[in-house]
């Protein structure tokens, strides 16, 4: 790629231009005219993916605050996959539910642009700006069904709690600047490395406030309260998008800040994150068992998976660092597909997201049930799926670093979580379908293609994970 000070922001610009193109196309579209607005979004995301490949190993930087290192580019590629799958699943949902297509697709792309910016930011203030860009877009997407009281309630709760977490994050930035004199992550890391032997209460306060802000976005206990309500109230495809994209972007920034800049004080923050990881894994697995709504069940599943990712963050050895990125990719593909099935099962009148709505699905729609089964088995961490490889490396990293208790809790909670995944599978194949329930419509076209592509990636990452793991290890090594 031609050397330019703007190279690092090219992936972000591709996504933003696609969003603007969708808004312009929507403005000139006749009310009864059908346009493939989602196709414009996919073109922009493909442009971001191509530019990320061309930037690989270049170490490009723009304005000193956006860094297209391999770590950021790996997360960018993960976010591109999430964005493409979300748009593909949304194709039939937007038409079926009468959602404003231009607004919907533009918001998805603006959220992706914020996520990419957050993953590649080298400055705390830029991370905060990116966080607000993606958050505002996701708040609106959560309540985009304006005539649905549950969606409005979910968006309002998400917005209020998100505002509180943003306040914590801003105060964390302020304290960090007060101590170090900079918001640039590289300069913060240099300053803290020189101060690692001294005791500074203000540094601990800054780390604690930043930790609260990140913990909210990754749904770590006790900052998870918004998650079940937001996932249940939002359209299923939006729930899948925010459960993966927001988590991937937040973990990328979390990793960059705490494993790079604040690494000299890891002895202070690691025990706190250890407690958060244990509480998150236990609550996500145990409370998930009691859910009868599949979207709420997957919400608590998402909470538990956040705990598994925190295990990799604590282990912080070479295996653990690479496992974080691999797990983000595997979880993203799997969870987007699982929520995609729920979205395709729903109708304009009913979400069909209760456990009973899946009874007999294996006989009524065997292909759809089979694809959902693969996703659930991957979330449960069963071989030969991507979820199994991800959990294997996460827990191996914990054992290698001496965190045996953490690994034991992770394995036990994984076993518990398998119960509620298998419960859905049992309902699909071993229960009679209630005659009062309508048979779901056939899934065809773009939605089916997205499901098939997701399952192929799940098996590829589960059977042949070496290439992805090597890329993850090489990527994360660029920030340490």
Omega within 30 of 0 (cis) for the link into 320: no
Please write the tens of the pLDDT for every residue from 349-365.
666 778 888 888 888 88
| 275 CB neighbour count, 10 Å cutoff | 11
Tell which wins on pLDDT, 137 or 147. Answer: 137
**pLDDT (average), residues 378-387:** 91
Q: What angle do CA 85, 108, 240 make, to 5 degrees?
A: 50
Average pLDDT over residues 254-267: 87
Average pLDDT over residues 268-294: 91
- Which uninterrupted H or E stretch holds 358? none
Q: Is the pLDDT of residue 1 over 80?
A: no
Q: Please tell me whether residue 290 adopts helix, strand or coil conformation.
A: coil
Question: Which of 21-25, 29-33, 390-394, 459-463 is predicted with the least confidence, judged by mean pLDDT?
Answer: 29-33
- How many Cβ atoms are within 10 Å of 128's Cβ, its own excluded? 20
Structure confidence at residue 113 as a pLDDT band (50, 70, 90)? very high
pLDDT at 157 over 60: yes
Residue 184, strand partner residues? 123
Q: What is the pLDDT of residues 66-110, one digit of tens each?
A: 998 999 999 999 999 999 999 999 888 888 778 888 899 999 999
Q: Both tokens of residue 116?
A: 């990419």
In the predicted model, is pLDDT for residue 34 greater than 60? no
CA–CA distance, 127 with 123 (Å, rounded to integer): 6
Q: How confident is the model at residue 366 (pLDDT cuts 50, 70, 90)?
A: confident
For range 48-61, the mean pLDDT:
91
The pLDDT-based confidence of 392 (bands split at 50, 70, 90) is very high
Cα angle for residues 430, 433, 436 (degrees, 5° grid): 160
Binned at pLDDT 50, 70 and 90, residue 29 comes out as confident
- Mean residue pLDDT of the chain comes to 88
Considering only residues 105 and 446, tell me which one the structure prediction assigns the higher pLDDT: 105
For residue 350, what pLDDT is reported? 67
Cβ atoms of 11 and 52 within 8 Å: the answer is: yes
pLDDT at 443 over 80: no
Tokens of 389: 């490889």
Specify the pLDDT at position 197.
Answer: 64
Cα separation, 401 vs 266, whole angstroms: 14
pTM, two decimal places = 0.94
Confidence of residue 26 (pLDDT cuts 50, 70, 90): confident
The whole-angstrom separation of Cα 287 and Cα 456 is 31
Q: In percent, how much of the chain has pLDDT > 70? A: 94
Alpha helices in 56-184 (DSSP H): 70-97, 101-120, 124-142, 149-180
31-40, 217-226, 333-342, 378-387: range with lowest mean pLDDT:
31-40
Give tens-digit pLDDT for 399-435. 988 899 999 999 999 999 998 899 999 988 888 776 6
pLDDT tens digits along 202-238: 888 999 999 999 999 898 988 888 889 889 888 889 9
Would the pLDDT of 438 be above 80? Answer: no
In the beta sheet, which residues pair with residue 123?
Answer: 184
- In angstroms, rounded to a whole number, what is the distance separating the alpha carbons of residues 141 and 90? 12
Cβ count near 49 (within 10 Å): 20
**Percent with pLDDT over 90 in the chain:** 50
According to the model, what pLDDT value does residue 196 have?
66
What pairs with residue 62 in β-bridges? 66
Q: How far is CA 473 from the centre of its chain?
A: 20
Q: Measuring CA to CA, which residue among 104, 131, 90, 111 is closest to residue 25?
A: 104
Task: State pLDDT tens for residues 303-345.
Answer: 999 999 999 888 877 777 788 899 999 999 999 999 998 888 8
């Amino acid at each position: 790629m031609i050397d330019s000070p703007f190279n690092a922001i090219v992936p972000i610009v591709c996504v933003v231009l696609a969003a603007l193109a969708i808004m312009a196309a929507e403005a000139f579209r006749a009310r009864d005219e059908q346009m493939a607005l989602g196709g414009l979004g996919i073109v922009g995301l493909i442009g971001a993916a191509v530019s990320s490949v061309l930037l690989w190993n270049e170490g490009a930087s723009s304005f000193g605050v956006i860094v297209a290192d391999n770590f950021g580019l790996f997360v960018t590629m993960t976010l591109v996959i999430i964005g493409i799958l979300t748009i593909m699943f949304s194709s039939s949902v937007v038409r079926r539910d009468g959602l404003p297509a231009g607004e919907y697709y533009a918001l998805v792309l603006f959220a992706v642009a914020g996520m990419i910016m957050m993953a590649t930011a080298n400055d705390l203030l830029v991370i905060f700006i990116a966080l607000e860009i993606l958050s505002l877009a996701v708040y609106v997407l959560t309540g985009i069904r304006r005539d649905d009281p549950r969606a409005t309630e979910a968006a309002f709760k998400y917005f209020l709690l998100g505002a509180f977490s943003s306040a914590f994050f801003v105060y964390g930035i302020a304290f960090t600047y007060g101590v170090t004199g900079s918001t640039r992550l590289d300069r913060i890391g240099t300053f803290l490395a020189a101060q690692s032997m001294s005791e500074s209460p203000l540094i601990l306060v800054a780390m604690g406030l930043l930790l609260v802000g990140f913990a909210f976005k990754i749904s770590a206990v006790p900052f998870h309260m918004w998650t079940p309500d937001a996932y249940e109230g939002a359209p299923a495809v939006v729930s899948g998008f925010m459960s993966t994209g927001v988590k991937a972007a937040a973990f990328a920034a979390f990793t960059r800040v705490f494993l790079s800049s604040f690494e000299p004080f890891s002895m202070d923050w690691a025990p706190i994150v250890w407690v958060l990881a244990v509480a998150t894994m236990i609550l996500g697995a145990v409370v998930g068992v009691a859910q009868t709504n599949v979207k709420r069940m997957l919400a608590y599943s998402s909470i538990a998976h956040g705990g598994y990712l925190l295990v990799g963050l604590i282990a912080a050895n070479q295996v653990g660092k690479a496992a974080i990125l691999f797990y983000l990719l595997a979880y993203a593909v799997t969870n987007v597909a699982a929520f995609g099935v729920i979205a395709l099962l729903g109708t304009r009148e009913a979400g069909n997201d209760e456990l009973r709505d899946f009874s007999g699905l294996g006989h009524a729609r065997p292909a759809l049930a089979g694809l959902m089964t693969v996703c659930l088995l991957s979330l449960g961490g069963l071989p030969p799926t991507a979820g199994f490889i991800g959990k294997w490396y996460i827990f191996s990293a914990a054992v290698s670093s001496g965190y045996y208790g953490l690994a034991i809790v992770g394995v036990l909670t994984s076993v518990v979580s398998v119960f509620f995944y298998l419960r859905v599978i049992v309902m699909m194949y071993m229960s009679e379908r209630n005659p009062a329930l309508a048979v779901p419509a056939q899934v065809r076209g773009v939605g089916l293609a997205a499901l098939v592509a997701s399952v192929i990636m799940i098996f590829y990452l589960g059977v042949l994970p070496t290439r992805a793991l090597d890329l993850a290890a090489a990527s994360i090594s660029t920030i340490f």
